[in-house]
């Protein structure tokens, strides 16, 4: 335990080497993520958690501990029970017996994962710094807080040919002997004071075989508490500057000649960012005269580099005295430059050269990679998107985000007679700044022959736009507003036709997309397939919607409501702005009257119209009439067409079963119709349903005429179809239920008058199965009152033998049912008290015993009477005795639960049935309450009487019969009487 506390109170364990008994704490198991009910059982159990790299070494240390008494203290990597990788410190100390022999081992586990991770992070950070330092041309070094060097970079070894020894003192041997003492004094002073170290001294250069001057700087680093923890230093070669400063002029001329002969551009900026030197190559690259730039501020002469990575790199190099390198694109020259920046005492020196050709090759490769990523993302969108608009928007968005394009849009073939292109989706980086020229120019006429989009449509091949300036069409101006210069137009080719054009645009002048054509063409073909698939799915959804709308139309009861719903759903399913159902009238000249007229989703007043001169006249020669355009001009005799703004008409004739025309079904459109296959096929379905409903109405009209004879019947006679809609309602039904025939016809029986839908459904199913049903069920009158009817249902079949309707005769038997209920109550209840009688009690007792067995619950029975009740009758008469019984019952009821069943067996004998008792003793508690309820005097017609009761208690057992349980309770009551009355006994 002490060892565990030394490690920080973690998991401890111990093993008796002689008995092998192993014990461990709950904390030890928790460290290894073992379940709560598990614990470590042996040393091997601990070792198994260790990874393979450490298990062998741990085993060796364990053997040393148990055999030689060595202390075990190891950090190992382990995998916990849950698979989590952690670091453990395992410590074990041998225990000695009185003879000094090793008898056992005591140990502990500690989770040292956080400290290990921190050490690793610190080590990684140090290694990252050293990798960075090794890549630097300057000598970079670090030292401990006490000034001992612990690291120098590779540049030091390359420069001096020496390596840093373990003592950190070998660097002194690289110094010039004359500089050693001065350098050590300055370094010691800086270390003691914790201040910056800056000095110039000579370091041996093995390449030159001589000592060269260096400027050495070092800065102290402090931790969060302010304690000096590290030194970081850099040594910069300044030998040339020191030695050749006297020959600056001569060297300057020589250097100038060298710089002028360089193919790289080179210029020098002073600390205040003025040009102090430019070579000829720099003048060529910058396209500026050098003499005109000398003494000028770089930001003023080249303002476009302000705020760019080049400005940031120049200032960073000057501030940090560290070289910098970058690649930079200068827009005015349209060139890429490789720039190397070197800080110096005067400012910065900049070497740069034109890498535009190399960059163009790299950009071409990058663009191909982007095209591949774009193709992959777009294929994912084809699978994910569920609508055409969403798919096209997603493709354009992906083109900008993954493809690197500045704009993308999709133009689809327009259905208009001009057959132009309409903009279906677009995305452009300029939209983020509020510019969206595509919004105002969404149509491209087929007359724009020089338009590359129309060219791609006609030839079915990709069209490259290398420079928009080569095109003069009006659409070019809108694209150019976004700064777009070049692009590609890809036809969207279906198997049968070209659906439209997919285009991608860049702002790079002269940029070629030829390398991307193959991948982009594959993308366009995939998109065309996706559009065609989504359109096919949309057509399928329209067909399904039409079927659903037709099905919904049949939910209306009948008559005007049916035709209005059918017309509305027909218009919605076919996308028409107006829809009509009309009946042919038997008049001369022929006229028709609308049964339903729906315009823009709203019902309008029905009207009559002449068939002659209207599009419906064409239906006399065929079942279908289509007018795809100019319907109002072609039929001037129908002014309502122009009033409704109709351009197209599609109508269908309604015929009855014998083929005779009975009406018309037609829809109107405010647009030209180019494709009508779906409209005509769907309209025929609606027409068949409307014709069937018209014929059904005519048939029911005849049936109603015949059924008028049934109005004289005394019983209610009702006919309803298989959808439970009432089609006949005689006057006796009106007298019985309260609804007139106008109120009842067409309504559903369950919704109108059924009190219990389940009873109605069962009767209906039996009538369908057997052809008839006779029985009773509960109904509802118009005023909400309930009545019981005796009904006789007969199934009526059509001429083909199929079920058609139900013929019902119903008689009110409510009075008879009420009388039967009253007689039943009288037969089962006591007249004096209203309590259940003996027969009813025995029925309930038998059911209660079954429930007790099923629930395995306690059931008790109290058997009691009124003490000395015979004396009350003899002394005061039977009237007083009856009042005493009534008062007695009232007190008993007030003392028991509402669910407890109480019965009068006869005379003054009563029983109380106690179900679901929580314990047998509960029966005693209730019996005590009953005796207590009798304590107060009975005041009956001015008489003050003292009344008590004797109670017998019996508890039901599963093997008892009804009579046996009652007999035991009765016998217990007599034991209570023998005990002095006014008490209870078992």
- Is 157 a residue whose pLDDT tops 90? no
User: Nearest to residue 686, comparing CAs of 806, 557, 798, 596?
Assistant: 596
Q: Which two tokens stand for residue 169?
A: 């003192």
Q: How buried is 113 (Cβ within 10 angstroms: 0-12 exposed, 13-18 middle, 19+ buried)?
A: middle
pLDDT, tens digit, 9 for 90 and up, residues 778-790: 888 988 888 888 8
Cα–Cα distance list, 411 to 94, 426, 489, 492 (Å): 85, 9, 10, 9
What one-character DSSP code corresponds to residue 754? B
Question: Cα–Cα distance between 500 and 530 in angstroms, integer?
Answer: 13
User: Nearest to residue 199, comparing CAs of 179, 175, 182, 215?
Assistant: 215
794 close to 772: Cβ distance less than 8 angstroms: yes
CA dihedral 561, 564, 568, 570 (to 10 degrees): 100
Across 75-79, 410-414, 549-553, which has the greatest mean pLDDT? Answer: 75-79
User: Nearest to residue 285, comparing CAs of 361, 350, 358, 347?
Assistant: 350
Q: Which two tokens stand for residue 123?
A: 């080590």
What one-character DSSP code corresponds to residue 175? B
Question: Cα–Cα distance between 334 and 356 in angstroms, integer?
Answer: 8
Q: What average pLDDT does this structure show over 884-903?
A: 91
User: Nearest to residue 238, comparing CAs of 202, 271, 198, 267?
Assistant: 202
The chain-wide mean pLDDT, for the chain, equals 84
Which of the residues are catalytic? Answer: 908
Q: How many CB atoms lie within 10 A of CB 675?
A: 9
User: Nearest to residue 544, comparing CAs of 678, 662, 744?
Assistant: 678
pLDDT, tens digit, 9 for 90 and up, residues 225-279: 888 888 989 998 888 877 776 566 566 667 677 777 778 889 999 999 999 988 8
CA 545 from chain center: how many Å? 27
- pLDDT at res. 5: 44
Work out the pLDDT band at 923, boundaries 50, 70, 90.
very high
Q: Which two tokens stand for residue 320?
A: 């940090």
- Is 393 a residue whose pLDDT tops 50? yes
- pLDDT at res. 546: 59
Query: Between helices 878-895 and 921-933, what is the axis angle to 10°?
Result: 140
Residues 6+ apart with CB under 8 A from 948: 866, 867, 931, 934, 981, 982
pLDDT, tens digit, 9 for 90 and up, residues 585-631: 988 889 999 999 999 999 999 999 999 999 999 987 888 999 988 99
- Is 542 a residue whose pLDDT tops 70? no
Work out the pLDDT band at 1, boundaries 50, 70, 90.
very low
User: Nearest to residue 44, comparing CAs of 28, 26, 58, 25?
Assistant: 58
Work out the pLDDT band at 555, boundaries 50, 70, 90.
very low
pLDDT, tens digit, 9 for 90 and up, residues 18-43: 888 999 888 888 888 888 888 888 88
776 close to 756: Cβ distance less than 8 angstroms: no
What one-character DSSP code corresponds to residue 341? E
User: Nearest to residue 157, comparing CAs of 145, 147, 170?
Assistant: 170
Residues 6+ apart with CB under 8 A from 187: 147, 197, 199
Question: Cα–Cα distance between 346 and 272 in angstroms, integer?
Answer: 9
Bridge partners, residue 498, by sequence: 493
Helix (H) or strand (E) holding 864, with range, is strand 858-866
Strand locations in 295-430, DSSP E? 324-330, 335-343, 347-354, 407-413, 421-428
Q: Which two tokens stand for residue 433?
A: 């700044």
Parallel, antiparallel or unpaired: strands 486-493 and 624-627: unpaired
- Is 217 a residue whose pLDDT tops 50? yes
Among all chains, which residue has been given the structure tokens 């073939």? Answer: 413
Q: What average pLDDT does this structure show over 951-962?
A: 92
Question: Cα–Cα distance between 393 and 89 in angstroms, integer?
Answer: 59
Question: Cα–Cα distance between 478 and 442 in angstroms, integer?
Answer: 10
- pLDDT at res. 815: 78
Question: Cα–Cα distance between 451 and 411 in angstroms, integer?
Answer: 12
> What is the pTM for the complete model shown?
0.33
Question: Cα–Cα distance between 470 and 485 in angstroms, integer?
Answer: 10
969 close to 942: Cβ distance less than 8 angstroms: no
Q: Which two tokens stand for residue 750?
A: 């369950």
Strand locations in 526-674, DSSP E? 578-585, 591-599, 602-603, 608-610, 624-627, 648-655, 661-669
Sheet arrangement for strand 228-237: 149-152, 139-143, 228-237, 210-222, 197-205
User: Nearest to residue 323, comparing CAs of 236, 240, 424?
Assistant: 236
pLDDT, tens digit, 9 for 90 and up, residues 277-299: 888 888 888 888 888 899 999 98
Question: Cα–Cα distance between 791 and 810 in angstroms, integer?
Answer: 4
């Amino acid at each position: 335990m002490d060892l565990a506390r030394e490690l920080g109170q973690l998991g401890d364990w111990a093993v008796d080497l002689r008995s092998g008994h192993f014990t461990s704490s709950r904390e030890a198991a928790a460290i290894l993520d073992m379940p709560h009910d598990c614990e470590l059982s042996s040393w091997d159990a601990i070792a198994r958690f260790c990874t393979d790299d450490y298990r062998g070494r741990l085993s060796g240390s364990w053997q040393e501990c148990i055999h030689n008494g060595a202390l075990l203290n190891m950090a190992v990597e382990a995998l916990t029970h849950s698979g989590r990788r952690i670091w453990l410190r395992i410590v074990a100390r041998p225990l000695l017996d009185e003879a000094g022999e090793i008898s056992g081992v005591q140990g502990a586990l500690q989770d040292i994962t956080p400290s290990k991770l921190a050490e690793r992070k610190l080590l990684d950070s140090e290694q990252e710094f050293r990798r960075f330092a090794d890549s630097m041309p300057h000598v970079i070094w670090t030292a401990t807080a006490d000034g001992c060097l612990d690291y120098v970079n590779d540049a030091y070894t390359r420069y001096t040919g020496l390596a840093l020894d373990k003592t950190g003192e070998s660097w002194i041997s690289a110094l010039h002997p004359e500089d050693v003492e001065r350098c050590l004094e300055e370094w010691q002073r800086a270390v003691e004071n914790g201040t910056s170290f800056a000095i110039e001294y000579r370091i041996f250069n093995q390449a030159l075989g001589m000592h060269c001057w260096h400027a050495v700087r070092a800065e102290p680093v402090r931790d969060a508490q302010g304690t000096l923890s590290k030194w970081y230093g850099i040594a910069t070669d300044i030998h040339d500057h020191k030695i050749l400063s006297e020959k600056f002029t001569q060297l300057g001329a020589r250097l100038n000649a060298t710089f002028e002969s360089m193919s790289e551009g080179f210029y020098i900026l002073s600390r205040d960012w003025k040009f102090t030197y430019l070579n000829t190559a720099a003048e060529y690259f910058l396209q500026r005269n050098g003499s005109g730039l000398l003494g000028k501020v770089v930001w003023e002469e080249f303002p476009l580099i302000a705020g760019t990575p080049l400005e940031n790199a120049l200032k960073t190099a000057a501030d940090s005295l560290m070289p910098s390198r970058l690649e930079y694109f200068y827009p005015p020259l349209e060139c890429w430059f490789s720039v190397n920046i070197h800080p110096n005492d005067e400012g910065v020196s900049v070497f740069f050269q034109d890498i535009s050709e190399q960059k163009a090759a790299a950009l071409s490769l990058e663009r191909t990679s982007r095209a591949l990523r774009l193709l992959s993302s777009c294929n994912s969108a084809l699978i994910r998107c569920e609508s055409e608009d969403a798919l096209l928007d997603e493709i354009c968005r992906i083109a900008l985000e993954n493809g690197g394009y500045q704009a993308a849009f999709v133009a689809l073939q327009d259905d208009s007679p001009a057959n132009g292109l309409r903009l279906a989706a677009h995305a452009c980086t300029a939209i983020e700044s509020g510019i969206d020229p595509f919004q105002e120019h969404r149509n491209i006429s087929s007359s724009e022959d020089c338009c590359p989009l129309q060219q791609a449509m006609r030839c079915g091949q990709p069209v490259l736009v290398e420079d928009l300036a080569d095109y003069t069409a009006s659409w070019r101006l809108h694209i150019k507003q976004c700064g777009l210069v070049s692009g590609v137009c890809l036809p969207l080719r279906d198997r049968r036709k070209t659906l439209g054009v997919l285009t991608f645009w860049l702002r790079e002048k002269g940029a070629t997309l030829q390398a991307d054509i193959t991948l982009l063409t594959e993308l366009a073909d995939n998109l065309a397939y996706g559009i065609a698939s989504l359109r096919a799915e949309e057509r399928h959804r329209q067909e399904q919607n039409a079927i659903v709308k037709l099905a919904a139309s049949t939910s209306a009861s009948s008559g005007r409501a049916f035709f209005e719903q059918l017309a509305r759903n027909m218009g919605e399913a076919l996308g028409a702005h107006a829809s009509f159902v009309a009946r042919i009238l038997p008049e001369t000249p022929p006229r028709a009257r609308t049964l339903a007229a729906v315009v823009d989703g709203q019902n309008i007043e029905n009207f009559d119209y002449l068939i002659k001169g209207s599009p419906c006249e064409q239906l006399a020669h065929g079942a279908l009439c289509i007018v795809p355009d100019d319907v109002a001009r072609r039929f001037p005799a129908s002014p309502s067409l122009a009033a409704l703004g109709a351009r197209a008409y599609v109508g269908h004739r309604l015929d009855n079963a014998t083929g005779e025309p009975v009406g018309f079904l037609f829809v109107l459109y405010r647009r030209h119709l180019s494709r009508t296959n779906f409209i005509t096929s769907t309209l025929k379905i609606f027409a068949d349903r409307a014709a069937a409903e018209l014929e059904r109405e005519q048939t029911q009209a005849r049936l109603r005429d015949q059924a008028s004879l049934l109005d004289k019947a005394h019983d209610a006679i009702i006919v309803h179809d298989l959808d439970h809609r009432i089609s006949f309602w005689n006057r006796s039904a009106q007298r019985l239920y309260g609804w007139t025939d106008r109120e009842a016809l067409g309504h559903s029986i369950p919704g109108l008058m059924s009190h219990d839908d389940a009873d109605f459904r069962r009767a209906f199913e039996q009538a369908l199965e057997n052809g008839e049903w006779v029985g009773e069920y509960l109904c509802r009158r118009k005023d909400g009152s309930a009545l019981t009817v005796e009904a006789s249902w007969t199934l009526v079949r059509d001429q083909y033998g199929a079920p058609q309707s139900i013929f019902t005769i119903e008689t009110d038997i409510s009075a008879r049912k009420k009388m039967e209920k009253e007689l039943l109550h009288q037969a089962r209840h006591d007249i004096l008290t209203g309590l259940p009688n003996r027969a009813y009690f025995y029925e309930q007792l038998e059911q209660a015993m079954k429930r007790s067995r099923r629930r395995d619950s306690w059931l008790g029975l109290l058997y009691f009477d009124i003490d000395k009740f015979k004396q009350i009758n003899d002394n005061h008469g039977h009237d007083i005795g009856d009042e005493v019984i009534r008062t007695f019952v009232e007190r008993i009821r007030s003392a028991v639960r509402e669910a407890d069943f109480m019965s009068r067996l006869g005379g003054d004998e009563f029983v109380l049935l106690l179900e679901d008792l929580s314990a047998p003793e509960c029966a005693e508690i209730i019996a005590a309450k009953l005796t207590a309820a009798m304590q107060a005097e009975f005041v009956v017609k001015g008489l003050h009487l003292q009344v008590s009761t004797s109670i017998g208690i019996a508890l039901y057992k599963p093997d008892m019969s009804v009579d046996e349980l009652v007999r035991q309770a009765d016998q217990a009551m007599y034991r209570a009487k023998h005990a002095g009355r006014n008490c209870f006994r078992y």
